[in-house]
Amino acid sequence: MKHVIRSAARDDIVRQFRYYLLDQDAPQVATRFRQAVQKTINDILHMPNAGTPKILSSDALADLRSWPIRGFENIRIYYLAKEDLVRVVRILHGKRDVSRILEEEQVENESSH
């Protein structure tokens, strides 16, 4: 199974990495976070339907699922699994307004078609 990381999700990874590296002055944690993201994506690729469904109002994101990043359980990967492709939509911390962010992402996706 293949995967694609959308640009918004890449930005999420960079933002969280920089938070650990610069704001927390924890380069080891930043590196561990980046490695944990990749390991978690690999886990998702092996069992894409195991993630928790995320119910949103959009048909475009009707099959959205989430999975916590190993070792960083407050941060979840939000993804769509279709046939042989996993599309990583966002990577968000639980303290954020996840539903609002994802709904906005969905509007952005629909307008780009």
Q: Where are the domains of the chain?
A: 2-111
Longest dimension (CA), the chain: 41
**Tokens matching residue 27:** 């380069």
Q: Is the pLDDT of residue 67 over 90?
A: yes
> What pLDDT does residue 35 have?
98
CATH topology of domain 2-111: YaeB-like fold (3.30.2310)
pTM of the predicted structure, to 2 decimals: 0.90
Lowest mean pLDDT among 17-31, 59-73, 75-89, 97-111: 97-111
CA dihedral 51, 53, 58, 59 (to 10 degrees): 80
Residue 16: Cβ within 10 Å count: 20
Query: What is the model's pLDDT at position 106?
Result: 55
